[in-house]
A and B are shown apart, each in its own frame.
Chain A
Amino acid sequence: MSIPFDYETMRLIWWTLMGVLLIGFALTDGFDLGSAALLPFVGRTDAERRMVINAIGPTWEGNQVWFILGGGAIFAAWPFVYAVSFSGFYLAMFLVLSAFILRPVGFKYRSKKPDPAWRSRWDWALFVGGFVPALVFGVAVGNVLQGVPFRLDSDMRSFYEGTLLGLFNPFALLGGLVSVAMLVLHGAGWLTLKLEDGPVRDRAQRYGQIAALIAFVLYALGGVWLAMGDIGYRVIGVAEAAGPSNPRMTETVHAAGAWLANYGAHPWMILAPLLGLAGPLVALIGIRGRKDVLVFAGSSMANLGIIASVGLSMFPFILPSSIDARSSLLVWNASSSHTTLFIMLLVTVILLPIVLAYTAWAYKVMFGRITTRDVNLNPDFY
């Protein structure tokens, strides 16, 4: 079989697709996480909480597949990244998985019994299911930006030399807070669209405003930290873009401020951080001006811009090693084979539009605001 794109192009495409997946996850399941994190605070009574739950009830399950697909696609396209990061962040992954396990069960089982204690326990489980992944994802990104303490031996076996507590360092916590604020804002944006006018929606918007401000300030602070702090890596010499996927053939070095170098070389990339900064402000204007669509558009812009800016800042790095110059994972040395990347591209090009089409249809079927009446009368509701 002859492959119409060269290896370098295929790697670039899959790097972009990995970004698309992560952004797709944040844009869809992100508001489920955010709404769940807001649940105990915006809903005071059982009926109010059920409004929040049913605002995401019919679609969260499909949204969560972006997360699962993210795992599968990274496995297929970037096996090194899949192997090194998930085994390295072992206990952090366990935290995320436990939280994600609580979520489906929480949605489904919470309203099966009228007992208030039962329901309140599940509400907090749902909160954990939303808050913990949002935090850990951001913390993980913060650590990736700083470099991860792993090395590969000549058999490509990976050894990780960090600890769980070491993950929670100041810069990483900043990443975690940006992530929580961004997703809480997105959750508030969704609830703005999905709930009828009333106290729950008002509270969601109030939390949304706070989250927007925090997201804006902390994200900007993160940018300043990257410029002034001792963070960043660069490749020594030239990494062969179509070379074999063997990280030990390239050499990288720690270099303060290097994460901002791409913006000098490719000025168009500045769009991403600008979007990340503008998004929370747009959402804020939307809440202030009672423009519902603007709120959700703003929170979506924030997700898109912030995630894209992390990817673009690091390019071509995916996972820099902080302890070994010949272990860092790059777009050029950590992918699957040329054939696998191409086959997976074909599969994606055929299937992803179909997925998007029926997902859109599902949203259309469930279109409309959740009302108190629905929550009281519809037997299909959670």
Chain B
Amino acid sequence: MIDMAVVELSRLQFALTALYHFLFVPLTLGLSFILVITESVYVITDRPIWRDVTRFWGKLFGINFVLGVATGLTMEFEFGTNWAYYSHYVGDIFGAPLAIEGLMAFFLEATFVGLMFFGWDRLSKRGHLLTTIMVAVGSNLSALWILIANGWMQHPTGAVFNPETMRMEVSNFKDVLFNPVAQAKFVHTVSAGYVCASVFVLGVSCYYLLRGRHIELAKRSFTVAAAFGLASSLSVVVLGDESGYALTDNQQMKLAAMEGMWETEKAPAGLTLFGIPSNSAHETAYEIKVPYVLGLIATRSLSGEVAGILPLVERADYRIRQGVIAYDAVEKLKVNRNDLTAREAWERHKSDLGYALLLKRFVADPRMADDATIAKAAWSTVPNVPALFFMFRIMAGLGFFFILFFATAFAFSVRRRFDRKWFLRAAILAMPLPWLAIEIGWLVAELGRQPWAVDGVLPTFLGASSLTTTQIWATIFGFTALYGVMAVIEVKLMLSTIRHGPEVYEGSDGESTPERPPATTFTAIPAE
């Protein structure tokens, strides 16, 4: 039997390391493009202030970037270390985007990031802009490939189980590549990163404006961030990835759970603004609903039905029973790969094999499961409804807040009003919010996928490595300590860099009273 303590600890470690990694990634995704914008302006206008702007944000980018890289290392190997059975079971499909990510994206960003920092006096202006663009393209491509991998976990297309190798194998790579869920997720995620970086740049700029320091840099950065942020916040909400949820039973379950919708409604279903869902009572109390909206968003039609949780559980019950037939066939094929009856049964029921595996949580051999156990397994397909319901509302609420926030900032920047104290203060206070929205977004997406590691194919609890709890505790403590120290250092360095402000180089037309930074041991003379 599976040791559930090992599974839960492995999940905890994965969540911790992924959430931590994703503190740095969104800022990298967005800030790299903001650098491209400011440096392009520098190359086009040839005004040195824009170089100072680029180099200042570039410095903050660098501090953040290394931690994204460092914590990303853990992620690349954690599937193998902690999710060995998962890695075996779906490596034939899931490994490919990870390898391509390395080849296409990581090399690009990592090679050019060195030139971006070291190449200011070795490259022409255009040459340097090109390296900055490559860093931005590289980091965004890496998001594309990891979301193709994640999209496949949410909506596994283009693959079949092979009883001879006991794993999923690619049947149609195009389907894996052009997975609609992956595309929706990609746009949604990178847009969220752009929002994050815009809020960050805007917040720091407002801090300078409020203090009356580095005004020229702050105004320009404010303007860039407001425009980029407005476009991105619209994109993140409009292209939110709810549209992909109608595709499979389990993604439908995620959608129903997020909405706290227990019964299927007549199409088009209404959107619940508020309510108090309960996993045990199977109902959502005190609902406030807006008619039609959910059906429209989720199915993009007036007639499409959005399934409720209870009917989906019934479907799961049915699919588990079919899956047991498939499981039985696989066991027979293990003994004799030429067993024709087993082969035939397998072909008929193979799409439900994953459902039979849900039973392994309760019985060692799914074929021994009674009705009560099957019912229990069917109910295990319901994720944590109240958590999803509330987290989704916080995330979506923040999404709408950002649109409003950037619309305001944009209006101020167009009218050149950089002196509204209340807004400057609000912008500083708003700085943690994108991270909150993004981390919650990850939780909604991945908790909503439970109990599956790969939707309908492999339950999470089967994916874990055969480790001991002591081993996992050791690494959880280790990573927490290491990451904790890193976090403290990086925040301190960020703050001191912000307090220190931009370096001012000769010929800048920016500051009226240039504040020369106190000369440290290594910034004696500017290179240019």
Chain A residues proximal to chain B, CB less than 8 Å: 46, 50, 57-62, 64-65, 67-69, 71-73, 75-77, 79-80, 82-87, 90-91, 93-94, 97-98, 100-105, 107-109, 111-112, 114, 154-160, 244-246, 336-337, 339-340, 343-344, 347-348, 351-352, 355, 358-359, 362, 365-366, 375-381
Q: List 14 A-B contacts (CB under 8 A).
A: A50-B522, A64-B110, A79-B91, A79-B167, A82-B79, A87-B80, A87-B467, A94-B81, A105-B67, A112-B63, A155-B85, A158-B88, A358-B107, A375-B522
In the complex, chain B residues whose CB is within 8 Å of the CB of A58: 114-115, 117-119
- Closest chain A residue to B331 by CB distance? A154
Chain B proximity of A353: nearest CB distance (Å): 11
The contact string, 1 if C-beta is below 8 Å from chain A, for chain B 76-111, is 110111101101110111111011111110111011
Q: Tell me the smallest distance from the CB of A36 to a CB of chain B, in Å.
A: 14
CB pair A347–B120 under 8 Å, yes or no, is no
User: Within the complex, what minimum Cβ distance (angstroms) separates B477 from chain A?
Assistant: 11
Q: Is the CB of B76 within 8 A of A86?
A: no
B336 at the interface (CB under 8 A from A): no
Assess whether B524 is in contact with A377, with CB atoms less than 8 Å apart: yes
Q: How far is the CA of A62 from the CA of B108 in the complex (A)?
A: 8
Are the C-beta atoms of A71 and B77 separated by less than 8 Å?
yes
Instruction: From B158-166, B267-275, B311-319, give the one contacting chain A.
Output: B158-166
- How many A-B residue pairs lie within 8 Å, measured between CB atoms? 268
Closest-by-CB residue of A relative to B466 is A159
Per-residue CB proximity of B347-379 to A under 8 Å, as 1/0?
Answer: 000000000000000000000000000000000
Question: For residue A64, which residues in chain B have a CB less than 8 angstroms away from its CB?
Answer: 69, 110
User: Which chain B residues in 494-512 approach chain A with CB under 8 Å?
Assistant: 497, 503
When distances are taken between beta carbons in the complex, the residues of chain A under 8 Å from B80 are 71, 75, 82-83, 85-87, 93
Give Cα A85 to B84, complex, Å. 9
Q: Is B71 an interface residue (CB 8 A)?
A: yes
Contacts of B166 in A (CB 8 A): 154-156, 246
Tell me, rounded to whole Å, the shortest Cβ–Cβ distance linking A248 to chain B.
9
Inter-subunit contact A75/B91 (CB<8 Å): yes
Bound complex: CA A50 to CA B522 (Å):
10
User: Is there an interface contact between A245 and B475, defined as CB atoms closer than 8 Å?
Assistant: no
Q: Is A97 touching B103 in the complex (CB atoms < 8 A)?
A: no
Task: Please determine whether B95 and A82 come into contact, CB atoms closer than 8 angstroms.
Answer: yes
CA distance A265 to B365 in the complex (A): 47
- B523 at interface, CB cutoff 8 A: yes
Q: Within the complex, which residue of A61, A68, A83 is in contact with B87, where a contact is CB–CB below 8 Å? A: A83
Instruction: For the complex formed, measure the closest distance between the CB of A66 and the CB atoms of chain B, giving whole angstroms.
Output: 9
Contact flag A366-B106 (CB < 8 Å), given A93-B77, A244-B164, A336-B91: no
Cβ contact within 8 Å between A105 and B73: no
> Inside 8 A of B215's CB, which chain A residues have their CB?
none
The proximity string for B residues 466-499 relative to A, scoring 1 for CB distances below 8 Å and 0 otherwise, is: 1100010011001000100010011001000100
Instruction: Please state if B91 and A68 are interface contacts (CB–CB under 8 Å).
Output: no
Q: Looking at the complex, which one of A100, A337, A378 makes contact with B70 (CB distance below 8 Å)?
A: A100
What number of B residues sit within 8 Å (CB to CB) of A? 83
Judged by a CB distance under 8 angstroms, whether B465 is at the interface is: yes
Decide: B69 and A61 in contact? CB cutoff 8 A.
Answer: yes
Q: Which of B95, B123, B482, B489 contacts A101 (CB 8 A)?
A: B482
Residues of B within 8 A of A (CB): 62-63, 66-67, 69-74, 76-77, 79-82, 84-85, 87-89, 91-96, 98-104, 106-108, 110-115, 117-123, 134, 162, 164-167, 169-171, 173, 334, 465-467, 471, 474-475, 478, 482, 486, 489-490, 493, 497, 503, 520-527
Docked complex Cα distance between A362 and B503 (Å): 26
Instruction: For B173, give its contact among A62, A68, A343, A378 (CB under 8 Å).
Output: A343
Q: Decide if A104 touches B70 in the complex (CB within 8 Å).
A: yes
Interchain CB contact under 8 A, B167 and A156: yes
Q: In this complex, which of A59, A62, A344 has the most chain B Cβ atoms within 10 angstroms of its Cβ?
A: A62
Distance of A68 Cα from B79 Cα, bound (Å): 13
Contact in complex: A365, B119 (CB < 8 Å):
yes
Give the complex CA separation of A79 and B94 in angstroms: 10
In the complex the two chains form, what is the Cα distance from A347 to B523 in whole Å?
43
Q: Is there contact, CB below 8 Å, between A61 and B114?
A: yes
Decide: A101 near B73, CB < 8 A? Known: A57-B118, A61-B111, A72-B95. yes
* Residues of chain A lying within 8 A (CB to CB) of residue B115: 58, 362, 365-366
Residues of the B chain whose Cβ atoms lie less than 8 Å from the Cβ of A50:
522
Residue numbers in B under 8 Å from A91 (CB-CB): 471, 474-475
Give the distance to chain A from B35, nearest Cβ to Cβ, in Å. 15
How many angstroms from the CA of A80 to the CA of B118 in the assembled complex? 40
Bound Cα distance from A61 to B80, whole angstroms: 23
Which of the listed residues B72, B475, B503 has the most CB atoms from chain A within 10 Å of its own CB?
B475
Q: Taking the nearest CB of chain B, how far is it from the CB of A342, in angstroms?
A: 9
Answer whether A62 and B111 are a contact pair too, CB < 8 Å, given A68-B76, A98-B482, A377-B524: yes
| A120 CA to B98 CA, complexed, in Å | 36
Once bound together, how far apart are the Cα atoms of A244 and B165, in whole Å?
Answer: 6
Within the assembled complex, what's the spacing in Å between the Cα atoms of A62 and B102?
11
Q: Does B521 lie within 8 Å of A101, measured CB to CB?
A: no
Q: Select which of A94, A112, A343 is within 8 A of B170 by beta carbon.
A: A343
A83 to B95 alpha-carbon distance, docked (Å): 11
* Interface contact A111-B522, CB-CB below 8 Å: yes
A86 engages B106 (CB within 8 Å): no
The 9 closest A-B pairs by CB, nearest first: A79-B91, A86-B80, A76-B95, A75-B95, A62-B111, A69-B102, A87-B84, A72-B99, A87-B465
Alpha-carbon distance between A94 and B87 when the two chains are bound, in angstroms: 18
> How far apart are A98's CB and chain B's nearest CB, in angstroms?
6
Is A347 touching B110 in the complex (CB atoms < 8 A)? no
Is A83's CB under 8 angstroms from B169's CB? Answer: no
Closest chain-A Cβ to B55's Cβ sits at a distance in Å of: 9
Q: Say yes or no: A76 contacts B91, CB within 8 Å.
A: yes
Given contacts A76-B96, A362-B112, A378-B527, 17 further A-B contacts (CB under 8 A): A46-B521, A60-B114, A69-B106, A83-B88, A83-B465, A158-B88, A244-B164, A337-B162, A337-B165, A340-B170, A340-B173, A358-B107, A365-B115, A377-B525, A379-B523, A380-B118, A380-B120
Judge whether B96 and A366 touch: CB under 8 Å: no
With a cutoff of 8 Å between Cβ atoms, the chain B residues found around residue A344 in the complex are 96, 99-100
Q: CB < 8 Å: which of B76, B82, B466 contacts A71?
A: B76
In the complex, chain A residues whose CB is within 8 Å of the CB of B520: 114
Check A75 against B79 for contact (C-beta < 8 Å): yes
A69 touches B107 (CB 8 A): yes
* Inter-chain contacts of B94 with A (CB < 8 A): 75
Inside 8 A of B111's CB, which chain A residues have their CB?
Answer: 59, 61-62, 65, 355, 358-359, 362
Partner among A108, A160, A340 whose Cβ is within 8 Å of the Cβ of B92: A340
Let me know if B503 and A76 touch, CB within 8 A: no
With both chains docked as a complex, state the minimum distance between the C-beta of A344 and any C-beta of chain B, in angstroms: 6
Find B93's partner among A101, A105, A107, A340 (CB 8 Å cutoff): A340
| A58 to B123 CA separation, bound complex (whole angstroms) | 14
The reply to whether A62 and B103 contact each other, CB–CB distance below 8 Å, is no
Could you tell me the distance between the alpha carbons of A366 and B121 in the complex, rounded to whole angstroms? 11
Are B84 and A154 in touch, CB under 8 angstroms? no
* B522 contacts A105, C-beta separation under 8 Å: no
Q: B355 to chain A: closest CB distance in Å?
A: 17
Q: How far is the CA of A157 from the CA of B86 in the complex (A)?
A: 9
Contacts of A102 in B (CB 8 A): 70
Chain B, residue nearest A84 (CB): B84
Asked if A339 and B170 sit within 8 Å, CB to CB, the answer is: yes
Residues of B within 8 Å of A46, CB to CB, are: 521
Is A246 within 8 A of B165, CB to CB?
Answer: yes
